[in-house]
A and B are shown apart, each in its own frame.
Chain A
């Protein structure tokens, strides 16, 4: 699976949009981009995933560049409860891959009042 690069930490003001970048320059055509977050040592929580089109759900939006070498997770109106470590993961969607997700260091997002 392709390696991802994320900034180790970011700050965001409460109520503003949080834009979390992820670089995955070696991504293959059949690899998806997944985002999870982990709030203070709880189990990670799935946020969103996409292949090449932008995706939106009730939690966030995922913007994937046309060349798919990078993506941005957008939390439109960050709240204090969004303070967490955000993981960007790239993996192939394959029945035989066992849905194994490799978590890297992630970005520690601090939402400030």
Chain B
């Protein structure tokens, strides 16, 4: 069982609100990732981090921002939510190794009205 947790699992919020999706892992992994996935569609990498104070943008441009102040914590923030941000956001982590095994959380499903 992977020890990576996302909250909230579901969030319905109005346009213009600031939201933060939380992601925490207890495996001591250096690398963490955020993927975005619309229903029935592919996963797209939007942010990743190699470790504390490291953040990079992924393949898909996103208006969200991330921070990595602690190894175990990788929150994603939307300053002003819009309906176009409605999606599922999946957090993942991995060791600093070549195995490529990512451990995913259960996801946060965001709906912006």
Give chain A's interface residues, CB within 8 Å of chain B: 32, 34, 36, 41-46, 49, 91, 93-95, 98-106
Contacts and interface: CB of A to CB of B under 8 A. Distances in A.
B101 interface: yes
B104 A43 contact: yes
B59 interface: yes
Contacts, number: 61
Contacts of A45: 104
Interface residues of B, number: 30
A99 B96 CA distance: 8
Given A41-B109, A43-B106, A43-B107, 9 more contacts: A42-B104, A44-B104, A45-B104, A49-B99, A93-B99, A99-B94, A102-B45, A102-B59, A103-B43
Nearest to B98: A93
B50 A98 contact: yes
Contacts of A105: 42
Interface in B47-73: 48, 50, 56, 58-59
Given A42-B107, A104-B42, A95 B100 contact: no
B100 A91 contact: yes
